[in-house]
Structure 1
Amino acid sequence: MNRLQILILAFICVLGLLTRSIAQIQKEQIDLLDSYLSVQQQSIGFNGTVMITRNDSIIYQRSVGKASLELDVTFSSDPVFRIASITKQFTAMLIVLAAEEQKLSLGDHLSKYFPRLSQSDWPNITIRQLLTHTSGLPHDEGIADYWEKISFLPLSERQAADEILKLKLLSVPGTETHYSSPGYFLLASILEIVYHKSYDAILREKITAPLHMDHTGVGNATDIIKGMVSPYHQLANRLIAAPHRDSALMKGSGNMYSTASDLSKWNNALNGSSHFNKMVIDQLFTIQNSQPVNGRSESYGYGWFLRRTSNRERDFNFTGGGTYGCSAISGYYPNAKISVVILSNVSTLPVGEMQSDIESIVFGDSFDMPVAQTQVVMDASQLDKFQGAYTADSGHVLLIFFKGEQLYAKMGQNPFFELYPSENLVFFGKKVPVQIEFENGSDNTIKGLKAKLKGQSIHFLKSR
């Protein structure tokens, strides 16, 4: 064997060892992801699918739970889910495409498209302000009797628009940030005006048909959609059929459905393909609003949250969505070329926390597997003593209250969430991955608590 043959053989051996090493790392990550989803199914009731792709190649895909609990049907290979506010990604793209086609300008005022506007500040709202949630428009709750009545009604297009156009602005347009789905309804309506077509038809022509997203579209409460999973809602510690919510007021903001594979195609098409003009894509992923949007710390582009860090590999563009029967998040790491899609047919699941955990696994960070907590039974008399206000050194106040045989926690303006006992003084959350350990005083009354979340421990003293 000559020297060249020896070198070639050595190279082949090293390449083989390297390939096996990479495969072994991938298998370890896959095993860890499998274990993680199993724990989250047991711990928080995750029911849905996860897909991770690198470029156009699937590197992980798994579904856990049921597509229909009533029929005991498991998920298909590519189940269809409602995607709620992920819809905003598509509306934003369609608006920017329309601007490129000179159908509209992002600086256009609403008065150009809705001449019947009469409120003083309304005509001055711009399309750009609607895109960035700086129009002053409130979220759905600004509509009178929205959750009690209006959200159930199959309103006509005109009736839905009238409900939104009579909203009271929370601030002068362009001065403050207020997350607003009604703002994206108006964007969808503007698209229909300039194209003389339905939002569904525009979406199909500009995005879903060219990208072969064959299982993505616009749905309403009465449509029968092939492959659609049944919707459920977490109520305390049990699942119920998801309450009804009509989609009439969700046009352009939350009325779409899709699959994990279709959303992965979409993520990849926006990041490195030639399907869309680079100038269009750059507008979506350029920071347009650096103020907190919907309570999040990330900046905002057009329809996308943008996480920018010193580690460029962890830059992340994403949107989450939630409504009755839907918890979802879809995003892309542009520098790592990785797409992550998490879709569930159960509402109020912490899919944002799941995405963070999955990121740690995929990027090889040290990772502590969540422990599936076992709930114990406590009666109302046992739970009552934990109620009260607890104050940390920082001044933050954590409220613990008891309602309907269930203990809840709430901090500041954040939504309240359920607490479940695992031991005599130890409780855990499902929607929020927190562990709370109460402290007994000398007289056997509760004097304080320790809250553990994301590796941090905060001490609170009972103030009342």
Structure 2
Amino acid sequence: MNRLQIFILVFICLPGFPTRSIAQIQKERTDLIDRYLSVQQQLIGFNGTVMIAGNDSVIYRRSVGKASFELDVNFSADPVFRIASITKQFTAMLVVLAAEENKLALGDQLNKYYPQLGQSDWSNITIRQLLTHTSGLPHNEGIANYWQEVSFLPLSDRQATDEIFKLKLLSVPGTKTQYSSPGYFILASILEIIYHKSYGAILREKITHPLRMDHTGVSNAADVISGMVSPYHQLADRLIATPHRDYALMKGSGNLYSTVSDLLKWNNAINGGHFNKMVTDQLFAIQNSQPVNGRSESYGYGWFLRRTSNRERDFNFTGGGTFGCSAISGYYRNAKISVVILSNVSTLPVGEMQSNIESIVFGDRFDMPVLRTSIIMEESQLDKFQGTYTADNGHQLAIFLKGAQLYAKMGQNPFFELYPSDSSVFFGKKVSVQIEFEKDSDDTIKGFKANLKGQSIHFVKNK
């Protein structure tokens, strides 16, 4: 299939433009993506690589920003990034492959591999429940002193396992959904038990070597990896050196690195017949229809699955984020299009970027994000906006002040900065929201109206 044929698949000619050539539409849409990434570089500090491909033909690829700001080094042709929770795609595949080889069964309980669990609440957790985040295990924050202490420590594998087994289950296994990276650590450890090899060796044997994914592998905080970009964290409007986080507790859940090229090979292999169809059908079947990690999509094994009435938009994907990494990789299974976004800056809204890029690729109406200018307000002026606000649907938004910067946080989502455009109107950069505060006659704040993605939501300040 030549590039023009691929392009016809990817950039579909719109009915409203019957007289325009495919090449014209291609250029308009690639130019629009170029403009969009330039705006996002200025607006949210996007720094990384974006790739769009039809089958194995790359249609669009661009790196924005720097691989190293300290050394003023641009990105290489195929930079290496940490991919955080995209790791779960690979762990899930390895587990299902092991089941196909009769090395394990998805219904196996943990006490088969960890007899020391005895008859504890943990003992009857199944492999399937770990895969679908229904084991009752909490996320990393369930580990005592995780962010203050444990996440920094270069724990041995035994020590990391012991830390996880100290966790208190949040629910009876199989009854509720709770996103849990420790669950995928356990899956990776079970793979090591049954194969008598390290997780990295199993990954190489089953996936990366056969697919020639030469720039994908397991890392730890001490490794020097050829081609790896420098990691950064965005704090308000400036970049800082990435806070330290050891990878000991991230085995199987967030400890891989890769490139956009390797992830394209992976997307094509997993969707193109390289693996047994019985295996891939399990990965992409809806295994959990409940919200996972706050998302509305269903969940397979290691993948989020978006299913809509428009089959062209069916999208299988996983996002990832950790210090020095914001990433998303997915595949439109019917349109046969891959989209990969990898960044070496943490807490960027790459999910929203993917949604915007999708609109451009498929020819939807698209409104370019607006670069807005903020005004300076003193800490004493910002203090009155602090508080907890409740919407009609029961959702709560906390607004708080640190120094002279106002922040907002909803539920378990990451907090984000709010910037004033006048004395009572604020906007977000990482989250495309405008908040207009309402005042009583005595100038006290009583609530606000939030405009987000074309929707207006009213919040009332809690007493």
TM-score normalised per structure 1: 0.93
- 1:355 positional shift: 0.6
Summarize the Cα distance change of 1:172–1:77 in structure 2 as closer, same or farther, 3 Å threshold.
same
2:174 is equivalent to residue 174 of structure 1? yes
Deviations 1:87-110 (A, max 9, x none): 000000000111111111111111
Amino acid corresponding to residue 207 of structure 1 in structure 2: I
* Structure-2 residue corresponding to 1:336: 335
> 1:143-182 maps to which residues of 2 (within 5 A)?
143-182=143-182
For residues 201-234 of structure 1, give each alpha carbon's deviation from its aligned partner in whole angstroms, at most 9, with x where no partner exists. 1101110111111100000001000010000111
How far does residue 440 in structure 1 lie from its aligned partner after superposition? 4.4
Residue 460 of structure 1, CA deviation: 3.0
The correspondence of residues 18-29 of structure 1 with structure 2, limited to 5 A, is 21-29=21-29
Distance in 2 between residues matched to 1:139 and 1:319, nearest whole Å: 17
- Kindly tell me: are residues 26 and 190 of structure 1, through their superposed partners in 2, closer, same or farther at Cα, counting changes over 3 Å? same
Deviations 1:330-386 (A, max 9, x none): 000000000000000010111111111011000000000001122322111221232
CA distance in 2, matches of 1:397, 1:109: 38
Paired with 1:84 and 1:251, the residues of 2 have a C-alpha distance of 10
How far apart in 1 are the matches of 2:394 and 2:108? 44
Paired residues for 1:165-244 under 5 Å: 165-244=165-244
Kindly state the Cα deviation for residue 400 of structure 1 after the two structures are TM-superposed: 2.2
Do the aligned partners of 2:213 and 2:265 also contact (CA within 8 Å) in 1? yes
Distance 2:109 2:462 in 1: 50
2-structure distance, mates of 1:199, 1:19: 54
What is the one-letter code of the residue matched to 2:299? Answer: Y
For 2:407, the equivalent position in structure 1 comes to 408
Offset at residue 450 of structure 1 (A): 2.0
Q: Measure the CA separation in 1 of the matches of 2:20 and 2:395.
A: 51
Q: Secondary structure at the match of 2:203?
A: helix
Give the conservation status (yes or no) of the 8 Å contact 2:111–2:118. no
Residue type of the alignment partner of 1:343? L
Q: Aligned to 1:70, what secondary structure does the other structure show?
A: coil
Change (3 A) 1:160 1:36: same
Bigger Cα displacement from structure 2, 449-458 vs 185-194: 449-458
Which residue does the alignment assign to 2:14? Answer: none
**One-letter code aligned to 1:432:** V
**d(CA) in 2 for partners of 1:18, 1:392:** 45
Q: Which residue type is aligned with residue 89 of structure 1?
A: Q
Alignment-derived partner of residue 5 in structure 1: none
When residues 244 and 358 of structure 1 are mapped into structure 2, their CA distance, relative to the original with a 3 A threshold, is same
In structure 2, the partner of 1:311 is 310
Q: Residues 20-51 of structure 1: CA distance to partner in whole angstroms, max 9, x if unpaired?
A: 71111111110100000011110011111100
**C-alpha displacement at 1:442, in angstroms?**
4.2
Unaligned runs of 5+ in 1: 1-16
SS in 1 for 2:71: coil
Alignment of 1:237-276 (within 5 A): 237-272=237-272, 274-276=273-275
Residues 151-180 of structure 1, C-alpha deviation per residue, up to 9 Å, x if partnerless?
111111111111112221111111111111
Amino acid at match of 2:344: N
Residue identity in the other structure for 1:435: Q
CA distance in 2, matches of 1:388, 1:95: 45
1:345 equivalent in alignment to 2:344: yes
SS at the partner of 2:115?
coil
Query: 2:277: which partner in 1?
Result: 278
Distance 1:345 1:19, change over 3 A: farther
CA contact (8 A) 2:88 2:254 kept: yes
The aligned residue for residue 71 of structure 1 is 71
CA distance in 2, matches of 1:58, 1:456: 35
The normalised TM-score by structure 2 is: 0.93
User: What amino acid sits opposite 2:422 in the alignment?
Assistant: E
Deviations 1:214-265 (A, max 9, x none): 1000000010000100001112222110011111110000000000111111
- Which shifted more, 435-444 or 375-384? 435-444
1:80–1:171: structure 2 CA closer, same or farther, 3 Å change rule?
same
In structure 2, the residue corresponding to 1:342 is in which secondary structure? strand
| Structure 2 counterparts to residues 124-139 of structure 1, below 5 A | 124-139=124-139
Which runs of structure 2 are paired with 1:34-113 in the superposition (5 Å)?
A: 34-113=34-113
Task: Give 1:138 deviation, angstroms.
Answer: 1.0
Q: Among the aligned pairs, what percent are the same residue?
A: 82
**What amino acid maps onto 1:315 in structure 2?**
D
Q: Given residue 210 of structure 2, which amino acid in structure 1 is its aligned partner? A: P
Q: Which amino acid aligns with 1:135?
A: S
Note the alpha carbon deviations across 1:91-136, whole angstroms, 9 max, x for none: 0000011111111111111111111114622111111111111111
Distance 1:185 1:391, change over 3 A: closer
Aligned to 2:12: none
2:431 match: 432
Query: Any gaps of 5 or more consecutive residues in structure 2?
Result: 1-16
How far apart in 2 are the matches of 1:260 and 1:270? Answer: 15
Counterpart amino acid of 2:143? Answer: I
User: What CA distance in whole angstroms lies between the structure 2 residues aligned with 1:398 and 1:90?
Assistant: 35
Identify the residue that residue 297 of structure 1 maps to in structure 2.
296
Please identify, of 74-83 and 402-411, the stretch whose mean Cα deviation from structure 2 is larger: 402-411
- Specify the SS of the correspondent of 2:407: strand
Q: Which has the larger radius of gyration?
A: 1
Q: CA–CA distance in 2 between the matches of 1:463 and 1:149? A: 34
CA RMSD of aligned residues (A): 1.7
Partner residue of 2:357? 358
Rounded to whole Å, the distance in 2 between the matches of 1:146 and 1:200 is 25
After superposition, give the CA deviation of every residue in 1:133-155 in whole Å (9 maximum; x if it has no partner): 11111111111111111111111
Q: Secondary structure at the match of 1:116?
A: helix
Partner of 2:271: helix, strand, or coil? Answer: coil
